[in-house]
Amino acid sequence: MKKSVSLSLLLLLPFLLFSQAQLSMADAIIKSRGPLAPASLRQMQWIPGTEQFTHVVNNRLVRVTAATLTTDTLDLLPGLNAALEKQGAKALTALPPITWIDDKNGWFQTETDIFTYSLDGQLSRRNGFPADAANHDVHDKTYKIAYTRDKGLWVNIGGKELGVARSEKDGIVYGESVHRQEFGIYKGTFWSPSGRYLAFYRMDESMVTPYPIYQLDSMPAQAKNVRYPYAGATSHQVTLGVYDTQSGQKWYLNTGEPADQYLTNIAWTPDDKFILIAVVNREQNHVWLRQHDAATGAFVKTLFEENNDKWVEPEHPAEFVPGRNDQFVWQSERDGFNHLYLYDLNGKLLRPLSRGNFPVTNFYGFSADGETAFYQTADESGLNRYIWAANLKSGAATRLHDAEGTHQAIVSKKGDWVLDVFSNATTPRNIMAIPVKKPSAAKVVFSARNPVDGVAMGRVQMLTLPSPAGVPLNARMVLPPDFNPAQRYPVLVYVYNGPHAQLVTNTWLGASELWMHRMAQQGCIVFTIDGRGSANRGFAFENAIFRRAGDAEIEDQVAAARYLRSQSFVDSTRMGVFGWSYGGFMATSLMTRPEAKGIFKCGVAGGPVIDWRMYEIMYTERYMDTPKDNPEGYAKSDLFNYIGNLDGRLLMIHGSSDDVVLWQHSLRYIRECVKKGKQIDYFVYPEHAHNVMGKDRVHLFEKIDRFFQENLLRNDVQRP
């Protein structure tokens, strides 16, 4: 344990404030997205063909010239409302998000209509859609709109509604997201560049066992069934259709067998001729990027394929270079980190556009001339984010700003300017206008004041701790505002430690949330560490969990807890843990698995996975294989097996309408606790889904606060 004391201290933020104002939990939850969040410039966007951008202040559009930062203000709402009322439409209470078409015209969407509006006051209704339409997908040049209703798919062209496909039976769904929104999928329709064609998903989940979600306001309560594919069970089957808005005909792509493969990352070529699909096998260890003839659905060729003995996980469609029908950028972790690769339509790799032992975390697109690509990367520590501009011909890349922290980009249409939205642990938010050809001439457009000025905030320490595997791990401590190293404090560990999540970054307050500072105000240290399995540290770091969910994560969390217990200012008899979803799985594991025995006095597990055999196919089989192929891994991670080890206080919380981690997990856990004579605390949020949101989120965190008050904080601060 002596080794841990010498761990490097990356950043120690000073006392941010000395005020005695206290956060209530309601303020910490409700105001964290409002008055206590760093201010920004709302609705920022570049005006095409210009070096100007706009943002909205008090329902007025502010237009800024990047080179000089001179501004003018456009009060569009009165004229816009007058034009709407003249056409018999309802006036708006606020300026809607307007997307610029050119320097004089923009378009916007209301509850049922799509309009264009010009700076000279001309309003034109371009299209409309029913009030009960869902999954809106507007083509931004033709204003055609695709939408779903009653599991069917429609398009509206100039006010004329056309039925694309209607659900033939229960379990057939058109135009919605598929594959449980894995692989970066978030929608089910894909307009061709010209707007003539619409590609769409058809999902047949009729073979997937229904699962009841109870609706409580009827007597008796009614069950609404959802289709939930358990790991190792029958999966749904997906095909990709194409609809021609001119002829009204539709057809399906010949994607072949097996039927339970995953059709991911749909992309059109700019000329409307071909569709590219990243096809992933059920085992999720092989991906083929396949080209199909959009006009017939015929398979043309496989451009390239990738495989991995752990998993493959394409999450981004091909991005075609402006002005080229035959060149595109592809993202892949093939060399251990997510990077960008320039390909031609023959499947030939032309060159990589990014390199290094750090991943690309965002791709922003291209300059209008197709010569430059813009992207964001993490650094080798995983803490910082930087913006890059890469030349497509040479592959040479330039970092646009070097300040340590998190840089996010909004790139102008021409690609000659970038708005850099920046923050770090001590900087709430700065927005800079950066000329791409001369980044050193960056100008500060906006600086946010400290939004928590006047509030007694905690001190934030950023640490690096070694994993038992030898890799450095990023950690954060929020210390009480009046922290005294001569005293001993209880510790609350906030945990997730699962795929696709990173909790510790070099952004405002070290990415700590205000509820953590509320807990710190009450004399508690709040600690978080991103152990192996979490995101943005490379594939080797992420795949440590493969086939054994919980093992590497527990090793890292336990090592961190031992470091904490070795600190003179920590009361090692009063340590608690809290997590949600994968974090709920981890919190329950840390309260019951023998590797963590005796460390945590109490814990809160929200929406927890208890047995991975009861979780969905796509996510679970990627990281755990199937129960048949990996029985030992499933058995070891099955938290029913460790109930007998529970000797602290455990509060489990679940939403009764959770369709991500089914309510069944925690209900069965309670049943087994009863059988084994183990007492746990339990609370249900009726008809809430996986995350308790809205005003009830205050109730949730007040409950969590009270639990830790009673079980962790109620003793006075202890002196050694």
Question: So which residues are the catalytic ones?
Answer: 581, 658, 690
The H or E element spanning position 465 is strand 459-466
Q: What are phi and psi of 651, to 5 degrees?
A: -105, 125
Bridge partners, 386 (sequence order): 377
Locate 516 and state its tokens.
């953590």
Bridge partners, 42 (sequence order): 56
User: What DSSP assignment string belongs to 128-195?
Assistant: E--TT-EEEEE-TTT--EEEEETTEEEEEETTEEEEEE---STTEEESS--GGG-TT---SEEE-TTS
User: What DSSP assignment string belongs to 40-60?
Assistant: --EEEEEPTTSSEEEEEETTE
Locate 89 and state its tokens.
């439409």
Q: Which residue from 145, 147, 113 is spatially nearest to 133, judged by alpha carbons? A: 147
Largest Cα separation within the chain, whole Å, is: 81
Tell me if 235 sits within 8 A of 228, measured CB to CB: no
Strands of the sheet containing 262-268, edge to edge, are 262-268, 274-280, 286-293, 299-307
The amino acid present at 489, given as its one-letter code, is Y
Task: Report the alpha-carbon distance of residue 47 to residue 98 in Å, rounded.
Answer: 11
Q: Which residue from 198, 264, 208, 212 is spatially nearest to 237, judged by alpha carbons? A: 208
Locate 443 and state its tokens.
């100008």
Output the CA–CA distances (angstroms, integers) from residue 270 to 19, 323, 324, 371, 556, in the order listed. Answer: 57, 8, 7, 17, 47
Cα-to-chain-centroid distance, residue 679: 35
Tell me if 525 sits within 8 A of 480, measured CB to CB: yes
Residues 6+ apart with CB under 8 A from 56: 42, 43, 62, 95
Tell me if 522 sits within 8 A of 22, measured CB to CB: no
Task: Report the alpha-carbon distance of residue 537 to residue 362 in Å, rounded.
Answer: 14
- Residue 631, classed as helix, strand or coil, is helix
Q: What are phi and psi of 3, to 5 degrees?
A: -60, -40
Tell me if 465 sits within 8 A of 559, measured CB to CB: yes
Strands 570-580 and 489-495: parallel
Per residue, the 3-state secondary structure of 236-279, as one string, reads CEEEEEEEECCCCCEEECCCCCCCCCEEEEEEECCCCCEEEEEE
The number of residues in the chain equals 720
Task: Report the alpha-carbon distance of residue 373 to residue 319 in Å, rounded.
Answer: 10
Tell me if 290 sits within 8 A of 276, measured CB to CB: yes
Task: Report the alpha-carbon distance of residue 549 to residue 532 in Å, rounded.
Answer: 11
Task: Report the alpha-carbon distance of residue 653 to residue 681 in Å, rounded.
Answer: 9
DSSP summary character for residue 718: B
Decide: residue 585, CB within 10 A, 0-12 exposed, 13-18 middle, 19+ buried: buried
Task: Report the alpha-carbon distance of residue 170 to residue 103 in Å, rounded.
Answer: 48
